[in-house]
Amino acid sequence: MEKTLLGLHSNGVTQEGTWRRRAGLALTILPALAMVVSASLKLSHAPAFADQWVNKFGFPEWELSWVGLLELACVTLYLIPRTAVLGGVLLAAFLGGAVATHVRLADPAFVVEASLGVLAWGGLYLRDSRLRVLLPLRQQPGQTGELSTGVR
């Protein structure tokens, strides 16, 4: 176990930063795994899933593969640190469509998709300091709320 002095680990990283990163990764992995499983069901055309896709949701079966590929693309962009914000926006759009589909049918399972979206953005918020600067939950004393561009 590393010794700490004034809240810093021996490698110079604050305990708060380590906590945020770990919590962010945990919150990132949960929705990503759920969406990978969902995409694999779509791509495999699992009989029970395909039946629900066609008969309950009213989508043609040929769309399963395309939607599964789109879902995997969104998750991939979300998991790559450089494109994580774009991936988060695309995941929110994808999950918004899933929520709308469930709400249209008065299916209470829309809560699952909405929760995945909240978890995905919570994980992204915790693991990406640029997003925390852009959307501060609370303002620190002496902070003006403006983004620093580095240009004067």
Predicted confidence pLDDT, tens digits, the chain (152 residues): 444 444 444 555 566 678 888 899 999 999 999 999 999 999 999 999 999 999 999 999 999 999 999 999 999 999 999 999 999 999 999 999 999 999 999 999 999 999 999 999 999 999 888 888 888 877 666 655 555 555 54
DSSP state of 146: P
Q: How many CB atoms lie within 10 A of CB 71?
A: 22
Asked if 34 and 116 count as a contact pair (C-beta separation under 8 A), the reply is: yes
Would 53 be classed as within a structural domain?
A: yes
Domain with 105, as residue range(s), is 20-58+66-132
Helix (H) or strand (E) holding 48: helix 47-51
DSSP state of 33: H
Cα separation of 45 and 56, whole Å? 15
Would 42 be classed as within a structural domain?
A: yes
Would 8 be classed as within a structural domain?
A: no
Q: Based on the structure, what is the number of domains in the chain?
A: 1
Would 47 be classed as within a structural domain?
A: yes
